[in-house]
Structure 1
Amino acid sequence: MAKISINLATGALQKEEIIVGIDLGTTNSLVAFINPDGNPQVINDAGKGILVPSIVHFDEHNVALVGSEAACFLLTDPTNTIFSVKRLLGRSYKDVAEHADVFSYKIIDDDSDALVKIQAGNKFYTPIELSAEILKELKARAEHALKTPVNRAVITVPAYFNDSQRQATRDAGKLAGLDVMRIVNEPTAASLAYGIGLNPSQQKTVVVYDLGGGTFDVSILQIQNGIFEVLATNGNTYLGGDDFDRAILNYWIEKNQLNFQEIAKDHVLMQTLRLKAEKAKRALNALSPQSLFNEQIGEIWCTLDKKTFDNLIAIKVEETITACKNALKDADLTTEQIDEVILGGGSTRTNYVKEKVADFFGKIPRDDINPDEVVALGAAIQADVLAGNRSDILLLDVTPLSLGIETMGGLMDVIIGRNSKVPTKAGRQYTTSVDGQVNMKIAVFQGERDLVKENRKLAEFELKGIPAMPAGLPKVDINFLLNADGILTVHAVELRSGVKQEIEITPSYGLSDETVEKMLLDSITHAKSDVAERMIVEAKTAAEQLVYTAERFISKHGEFLTVAEISETNTHIEALKTALKSSDKDIILNKTEDLNEFTRPFAERVMDKAIAGAMKGKRVE
C-alpha cells in the first residue's frame, strides 16, 4: 500500500502537490492555483476560457459533456441538458417546486422530502453526480494546464449554505476524484483575494455582497490577527442573476400577450427566451451599455430598455438590501462601522445593483478584481495555506475525520465534515420510517466512507418515548457539538413531544496516526464505488418505502379506487418489487417513478371525497 503522511492538526494529507481552489458556481465554475511567483491565478486551459459554464449534457449513450460544448445543446436537446444544478444541491422537490417550470429538464417529484433527482434519457442523476461531472471537467482542465495530477482542492460555497448543501458539495468532490481539503465560505475567499487579512496587524470589518447566477449572500466579517470571524450572514440560496433573466422573460411573455403555461410546455421556446433574456441583461450592463435591446424570436418581440430592466429587477435587488440590513442588525453594527464593501459574483456587474449597494452602505464597493474570478482566487490562497506554504493566516484546529450517524440502509450521514474547524456545532433533522415507531436508534460513526460498515463506530443510544405517529410525522433534531478538546456531545430531541437524550464521546480515542492515514486513503481509493453503492442503497430504500405506502393506501382507501386501478397499482408494485431484486439504480428508479406517477392522483381524490363528505348537508353562509 502506498504511504502518505497526515498533519493531524489540519487533517490534511501531506504530499508535495498542487492544491487548487474551485468556485463551483450556479452559472459558471472555474479553478485557480498559486503560480510559481506566489500569486493566485485562474486557469485558462488551452484557450478554452476561464469560465466553465455549469452545464451538463447527456447524449443517447449517457456520456456527459460539460461546459461550453454542453451549452450548445440547451436549444437542440433541452430535456437532457442540465443547468443551474447548484440550486438543487441538498434540496428536495418541495424546496424547488415553484421554480420547476423554468427548468427544461425533468426533476422527479416523488411527493416526499427526499433529495431531488433529475432524469436524462433513461437514467436518473442526483445533483451530487451532476456537480461531480462539472468538478471532473475542472480537474481535467487543471491537470492539462499544469501538467501535473490534481487530487486535492478547496471548494467554495455560499455562506448561507446549510449542512446538507455543504455535505452534498463535499460528496460531489469525492465523486470527482478530489480530496476536498476544506469547504470555504465564498465571502472569506473573496476577502482573501483582495489581500484583506493577510497582514496579521490589520483589523477590518468587511461586508462581502455576493450575487451570483443563482445564489445571494451577504456576510459581515471581522478580520483581526489573521483570523476571520463571521459576525453575521444573510441571504437567499434561491436568488440571483437567473431571477433577473426570469423577470425579463415574464415581461416579454406578458407584453406579447402569450400564455405562460403554453410557453412552459415548449422547452425549446422557453430555453430560447431564457437565453435571449440573459443576452439582453448583458447588453444593457456592458462597459458600453446599449440604451435599448430589440430582437425578435419568430413573432415574439424581445424589446427592453435600461429603465424597464431596472424596474423589473428592483424587487429582487431590494431583497438583497433587506438582507444587508438584517445582517447589520444581527452583527449589531451600522453602515458607518463597515471599513470595506466587496462585490463578488457575476451579477454584481449589473449597474443598478452597484448603485443600490453604494447608496445603502454610503461607500463605493470594491470590484477592481473580476467579480467572476474573485472567489476562485481566494480559494487558491486558502489552498496555499492548507498546503503549509503560508504562516501569516491562522487556521484554527480542525477535526481530521468526519462524524455522522447511520441512516436507513446502513448509510453514513455526515453531520460534521472532515477539516471542520473546532469548536463547532452542526445538526440535521430526521423522522421515523415506520408507522407507530416509538424508539429511534442513533448510532454515531467516524470516517470518510459512504457505508457505516466501513467506518468506525463510536457509540449508540436510543431515543425512547417518541409519540406513536404515522411515519414521517415525528421531527427529531440530532445535534453534534465538538469542543476544542475533541469531545463530541450528541443531543437528540423529538420536537413535538420534547423527548430528549444525549451522550458524550471522545472521537479520537484509540486512533493512531497510521489508522487515520489509512481511513483517509481508503476513502479516496474507494470514492467512486462507495458513491455508486450509496446511490443503489438510497434508491432501494426509497422504493421499499413507496411499496409500503402504496400497499397501505390500497388497504385503507380501496373503496375510492376502481377494480382496474387497484389491479394496475398492484402490477406496478410487483414490477417495483422485482426491480428491487436487482442492483441497477436506474431500473429501480424507473419503476419507482412509474408507481409514483400512476398513484399520484389517488390521494387527491380521497381528500376531495373526504371534504365533500364532511361538508354534506352544511350550508356556507
Structure 2
Amino acid sequence: MFQIDFSAAKKPVIAGIDLGTTNSLVAFMDLTGPKVIAGAAGERLVPSIVSLTQDGEMLVGESARAALISHPERSVYSVKRLMGKGIADVGEDLSLFPFRIAEGSESVLRLSLGERTFTPPEISAYVLRQLKLNAEAHLGQPVTQAVITVPAYFNDAQRQATKDAGRIAGLDVLRLVNEPTAASLAYGLDKRKDGVVAVYDLGGGTFDISILRLKDGIFEVLATNGDTHLGGDDIDNRLIRIALEDIATEWGADLSGNGEAVQLLRRAVIAAKEQLSFVPAANIELEYRGRRYQRELKRELFENLIRDIVDRTLGPCRQCLMDAGLAPDQIDEVVMV
C-alpha cells in the first residue's frame, strides 16, 4: 500500500535584485508578472548602507542610515563605487567618505569599521543578505538563486566583485544583467513598436548609455558605453563642498573633518536636490551644536553648478552612437532611468 502526495510543491524562486549605489530592491515573478518585495516595515527600497555597532551587530538599510549620523566612522554607503577597485582608483572619493581605508588596500580596498576590516564585496553582501531575508520572509521558502543587475560598463573585476558579494550572501548568482537591459524590460520596451531606443541611466554612482534596436518584440543591444565613476554622488559632493566653504566663511570653522556634520550636511543637500525636481528653489539647512546654516539654492544656479558633471555623460553618449553607427536623429526614443 502506498500514498501519493498531490500537494503542490513549491518551486525554487529566482530573485531579481537591483543592487544600487543608493538603494537596492528585490523582486520575483509570479503568474501576473514581476513583484517587488517589501521589508517588514513595508519599505520597497533598502538603502545600500551598512553600519557596525559598538556591540558588533551589523545594521543594514534604514537603521544603518540613522547610524550614519551618530557613528559615521563605522558606516559605509555608496560601496558600489568601490567594487573591484584599488585605492588608486578612488582617491578623490575618499575625502568625503566617513570610514577609513585599512593598510594594504593598493589592489583590493579594505574598509576599517571599528576594530574590523571589510572588503567592498563583504559590505555589499550584507545588503544582499537583507534582501534575501526579505524575500524569504515574504515567500515563506528559502531563496538561494538570484539574477543581479550591474552597470553595463562594469569591467571584469567589478563584475566578479558583485558575484563574490552574492556568494558571500548565500546566493548562487545565475546571471549578471546589464542595468539598461533590465530597465528596457521593466519599461516594457520589448512590447512596444519597432524602433531604436537609447537608455540613459544616471544612477547614484555610475552612468550607462545603451542603444537598442526593437523589432518584432525582440530587442538587440547595438552599443553600450558609460562611466563607472559618475553619478548623483558627484552632485551631492559638489554641493557639500560648496556648503562647507560657506560654513567656514560664516562660522570660522572647518567642518570637513567632522564626520557627523558632513553626514548631516549630506542629508540636507540631497533633500534640497530632490526638491529642485519639483520647485524652482530649495534651502540647504544645517543645525549643528547651536549654530544654523541656511543657503537658498535656485534651480538655475543648481543647473549651472552641476553642468560640467552632466556634460561628462555626453562623451559616452557620442561614443555609443559612433559604436552603433547611428546619428542622433536616428534615435526614435530616449528612456531616462
* TM-score past 0.5 threshold: yes
Shift of 1:198: 5.1
1:254 maps onto 2:249 in alignment: no
Q: What is the correspondence of 1:366-405 to structure 2 with a 5 Å cutoff?
A: none
RMSD: 2.1
What secondary structure is seen at the aligned counterpart in 1 of 2:91?
A: helix
1:213 maps to what in 2?
A: 204
- 1:226 Cα deviation after fit: 5.8
1-structure distance, mates of 2:125, 2:191: 32
Deviation per residue, 1:204-239 (Å, 9 max, x gap) = 322110011111111112344665433222221111
Displacement of 1:254: 2.8
Structure-2 change in CA distance of 1:325 and 1:66 (3 Å): same
Contact kept in structure 2, 1:158 and 1:217, CA below 8 Å: yes
Q: Match of 2:81? A: 87
> Distance in 2 between the 1:334 and 1:27 partners?
33
Letter in 1 for 2:65: A
How far is the alpha carbon of 1:27 from its aligned partner? 0.3
2:138 matches 1:138:
no
Q: Which residue of structure 1 aligns with residue 22 of structure 2? A: 27
Q: Verify: 1:281 aligned to 2:276, yes or no.
A: no
Whole-angstrom CA distance in 2 between matches of 1:95 and 1:215: 14
The unaligned stretches of length 5 or more in structure 2 are 1-9
1:245 maps to a residue whose letter is D
Compared CA separation, residues 198 and 299, structure 1 to 2 (3 A): closer
Counterpart of 2:47?
53
- Residues 195, 332 of structure 2: 8 Å contact kept: yes
Aligned equivalent of 2:4: none
State the structure with more CA Rg. Answer: 1
Structure with greater contact order relative to length (CA < 8 Å, sep ≥ 6): 2
Matches within 5 A, 1:495-506: none
Once residues 30 and 151 of structure 2 are traced to their aligned partners in structure 1, the CA distance between those partners, rounded to angstroms, is: 26
Amino acid across the alignment from 2:318: K
How far apart are 1:260 and its partner, in Å? 11
- Per-residue CA distance 1:259-312 (angstroms, 9 max, x = gap): 9994332111111111111111112114xx252325343243333121111111
Superposed CA deviations along residues 402-423 of structure 1, whole A, max 9, x for unmatched, are: xxxxxxxxxxxxxxxxxxxxxx
Q: Deviations over 1:115-168 (max 9, x none)?
A: 101011111100011111000000001111122221111000000100010011
Q: Distance in 1 between matches of 2:210 and 2:182?
A: 12
Q: Any residues of structure 2 matched to 1:254-273 within 5 Å, and which?
A: 254-258=245-249, 262-273=254-265
2:5 corresponds to which residue?
Answer: none
Paired with 1:245 and 1:70, the residues of 2 have a C-alpha distance of 19
Which amino acid in structure 2 is aligned with residue 21 of structure 1?
G
The alignment-based identity, stated in percent, is 46
Question: Where does residue 93 of structure 2 map in the other structure?
Answer: 99
- CA deviation after TM superposition for structure 1 residue 84, in Å: 0.4
Q: How many residues are aligned here? A: 324
Q: 1:264 to 1:257 in 2, by over 3 A?
A: closer
Distance between the aligned counterparts of 2:27 and 2:42, measured in 1?
Answer: 15
- The gaps in structure 1 that reach 5 residues or longer are 1-14, 345-621
CA contact 1:26–1:86 (8 Å) conserved in 2:
yes
Task: Kindly indicate whether the alpha-carbon contact (under 8 Å) linking 2:136 and 2:143 is maintained by their aligned counterparts in 1.
Answer: yes
Secondary structure of 1:74's counterpart equals helix
Asked if 2 retains the 8 angstrom alpha-carbon contact of 1:284 and 1:293, the reply is no
- Distance verdict in 2 for CA 1:69–1:226, change over 3 Å: same
- Kindly indicate whether the alpha-carbon contact (under 8 Å) linking 1:211 and 1:241 is maintained by their aligned counterparts in 2: yes
On the 8 A contact 1:94/1:111 being kept in 2, the answer is no
Q: Does the 8 Å CA contact 1:232/1:331 hold for their aligned counterparts?
A: yes
Residues 20 and 33 in structure 1, CA contact (< 8 A), matched pair in contact too:
yes
Provide the secondary structure at the position in 2 that maps to 1:219.
Answer: strand
| Higher normalized strand content (fraction of residues) | 2
Cα distance in 1 for partners of 2:227, 2:237 equals 16
Partner in structure 2 of residue 125 of structure 1: 118
Is the contact between residue 28 and residue 35 of structure 2 (CA under 8 Å) also seen in structure 1? Answer: yes
In structure 2, distance between residues paired with 1:260 and 1:70: 31
In the TM superposition, 1:45-444 aligns within 5 A as: 45-110=39-104, 112=106, 114-197=107-190, 203-224=194-215, 228-258=219-249, 262-286=254-278, 289=279, 291-297=281-287, 298-344=291-337
SS in 1 for 2:92: helix
Report Cα offsets for 1:446-496 as digits up to 9, x if no partner: xxxxxxxxxxxxxxxxxxxxxxxxxxxxxxxxxxxxxxxxxxxxxxxxxxx
